[in-house]
Chains A and B, each alone.
Chain A
Amino acid sequence: MLSNKEVAEDLIKTFGEDVFNFDEPFGFLTLHATRQQIIPVLQHLFNHSYYQVKFLTDLTGIHYPDQKGAEFGVIYHLHSLTHNFRLRIKVFLDKNDIHIPTATGIYLCANWMERETFDFYGIEFDGHPKLTRILNIEEMDYFPMRKEYPLEDPTRDDKIDALFGR
């Protein structure tokens, strides 16, 4: 049984200061990594002879406008099928420097997941074979999932409701 502690210690031993903020919400190992070392971390877990973390479950983005200097996050969910071990790695990026290397070299499924994250948040993945919008139209010039973009059309005035405010 692979434990969270074991994997966490192995990552700290290999990457030192570049992996930090370990936590276990609901028993799920979560850690932060730096942009420079995220691909080596993923590679280390992929090539590890014992852990065999060879499945990228999910890759998505998140936006915290209040965290100055670390507004945008890219979140990787990884899974080792041989040990039934899951972990989550987060990388936070400054909104003025919103680049991160692509994971398509390791996991082919990251291709469309990174395109979707780019489509929604504007996070650029360096080295991606074809980073274009995937779900929205090509001509769109804003990134809809960012918190500053409203859900509804702000120019409409027929849905203003003083009591329920929606």
Chain B
Amino acid sequence: MSDTIEIVPKDKLQPAGVHPELISELTTLNLGPTHPATHGIFQNILQMDGEKIVSGEQTIGYIHRAFEKIAERRPYYQITTLTDRMNYCSSPINNFGWHMTMEKLLQIEVPKRAQYIRVIMMELARISDHIVCNGILGVDSGAFTGFLYVMQKREEIYEMYEQVCGARLTTNMGRIGGMERDLTTEAIRKIREFLKTFPPVLKEFEKLFNRNRIFMDRTINVGGITAESALNYGFTGPNLRAAGVDYDVRVMNPYSSYEDFDFEIPIGQSGDTYDRFMVRNEEMWQSLRIIEQALDNLPEGPYYADAPEYYLPAKKDVYTSMEALIYHFKIVMGEIDAPIGEVYHAVEGGNGELGFYLVSDGGRAPYRLHFRRPSFIYYQAYPEMCKGLTISDAIMIMSSLNVIAGELDA
């Protein structure tokens, strides 16, 4: 792959803060695919002038698993497991985004109770994603303690996922038309306990970092991006909100009853690493608000829609009723066709607008399924954000962007 690197010739150099006439030689540094500080497998070949980065070249695709091609073969309910593995730090959001895309295509109305349960799980996933991002940002700057404090809470979130769907990381949560089971009393107890015990931990985490002199020195004015540049680069999510644009898919195109909840969208000013860190912290507080509201107002009712063609009937009915038996057989054997149509649906993932573009030709598998992955789109801006900074700054910027390799490559 080395023959694709172009060494920037001296007369074309435009590095920030470095005198061009004093450059004698550039070093090429391979911030290689396997590196403890990069979160996942992607390669950055940096050209350095001494300690300052002049330009960068990115290679991605180390974890490309051809999801879009595989999806063209799988019945619709089997694609949920593919979506898990994109942004694996917040898999419920990916799962529900896909279920909502299918529900839009099939025009299924999901009952309120299922929508509220989905909101609770999605916000827990968002908290889990931000815990990882902010904790690891601390670790990359050398502060390990904060990460340890909040990681214990992430374990508790995993236990809540386990109560709801049985799995910890790749959750495959929910079904087309609702949830696969109701919230058990144990799950509700665990969520209430989390709502009580997480705020002090988050406050302690903030006390460690927010006004810490060393952390602020390492993150303020590092990797800033203007709002206009961010919009042109396709930024969404906390990275865009740190630059000052209040675009949140939950508010702009509400889905799954988000309009019932009262929450704020935190915005930064300069789009630098410190702003991204603060925006994510504040989003965790807002997510706690949403979970509390959803849990307090959880409506009674069914937890799945009346869509027997797409939602597996209860097993006891399969043994006694003819229609349930036939539907069960058809669904499991993948004989159910979806209507012809094309739909684009977006949800607010941990990193921004996670979009699903589905083209169906009336078969049992999609004709074309494309995932609009936020990490893939905003990672393009990384070399520009790193220009003129040092390697340690480059590492901090990469951590604060929250690039998740699974979502980058899909």
**Residues of the B chain whose Cβ atoms lie less than 8 Å from the Cβ of A57:** 234, 346, 353, 355, 372
User: Which of B69, B232, B370, B379 has a CB less than 8 Å from the CB of A108?
Assistant: B232
* Interface flags, B343-357, vs A, CB<8A=1, else 0: 110100000010101
Given A55-B234, A107-B234, residue A113 in contact with residue B377 (CB < 8 A): yes
Query: What is the chain A residue whose CB lies nearest that of B379?
Result: A112
**Most chain A CB neighbours (cut-off 10 Å) among B229, B253, B380, B381:** B380
Segment at the B interface, from A13-21, A134-142, A153-161: A134-142
On whether the beta carbons of B380 and A111 are closer than 8 Å, the reply is: yes
Given A77-B344, A109-B377, residue A151 in contact with residue B233 (CB < 8 A): no
Query: What is the chain A residue whose CB lies nearest that of B66?
Result: A144
On whether the beta carbons of A26 and B252 are closer than 8 Å, the reply is: no
A62 within 8 Å of B by Cβ?
yes
* Interface flags, A77-103, vs B, CB<8A=1, else 0: 100010010101000000000000000
Given A81-B245, A134-B60, A136-B64, residue A151 in contact with residue B234 (CB < 8 A): no
On whether the beta carbons of A25 and B70 are closer than 8 Å, the reply is: no
| CB contact list, B343-392 vs A, under 8 A | 343-344, 346, 353, 355, 357, 359, 368, 370, 372, 376-381
**Residues of the B chain whose Cβ atoms lie less than 8 Å from the Cβ of A136:** 61, 64
Given A134-B60, A151-B70, residue A88 in contact with residue B344 (CB < 8 A): yes
User: Which of B73, B252, B357, B409 has a CB less than 8 Å from the CB of A75?
Assistant: B357
On whether the beta carbons of B1 and A138 are closer than 8 Å, the reply is: yes
Query: What is the chain A residue whose CB lies nearest that of B377?
Result: A109
Cα distance A54–B245 in the bound complex, in angstroms: 13
**Residues of the A chain whose Cβ atoms lie less than 8 Å from the Cβ of B105:** 26
On whether the beta carbons of B355 and A58 are closer than 8 Å, the reply is: yes
Cα distance A47–B69 in the bound complex, in angstroms: 36
* Interface flags, B248-273, vs A, CB<8A=1, else 0: 00001100000000000000000000
User: Which of B233, B247, B370, B378 has a CB less than 8 Å from the CB of A81?
Assistant: B247
Cα distance A134–B1 in the bound complex, in angstroms: 12
A50 within 8 Å of B by Cβ?
no
Given A55-B231, A56-B234, residue A151 in contact with residue B72 (CB < 8 A): yes
- B236 shortest CB reach to chain A, Å: 9
Query: What is the chain A residue whose CB lies nearest that of B408?
Result: A135
**Residues of the A chain whose Cβ atoms lie less than 8 Å from the Cβ of B247:** 81
**Residues of the A chain whose Cβ atoms lie less than 8 Å from the Cβ of B68:** 120, 145
**Residues of the B chain whose Cβ atoms lie less than 8 Å from the Cβ of A135:** 60-61, 64, 409
Given A25-B343, A28-B344, A55-B231, residue A77 in contact with residue B357 (CB < 8 A): yes
B203 within 8 Å of A by Cβ?
no
Query: What is the chain B residue whose CB lies nearest that of A90?
Result: B342
* Interface flags, A37-48, vs B, CB<8A=1, else 0: 000000000000
User: Which of B69, B359, B380 has a CB less than 8 Å from the CB of A109?
Assistant: B380
**Residues of the B chain whose Cβ atoms lie less than 8 Å from the Cβ of A25:** 341-343
B10 within 8 Å of A by Cβ?
no
- B253 shortest CB reach to chain A, Å: 7
On whether the beta carbons of A109 and B232 are closer than 8 Å, the reply is: yes
A-side residues, CB < 8 A to B, are 25-26, 28, 30, 54-58, 60, 62-63, 75, 77, 81, 84, 86, 88, 107-109, 111-113, 116, 120, 132-138, 144-145, 151, 166
CB pairs A–B below 8 angstroms (14 shown): A26-B341, A28-B343, A56-B234, A63-B368, A77-B344, A107-B232, A107-B234, A108-B380, A112-B376, A112-B377, A132-B4, A135-B61, A136-B64, A144-B66
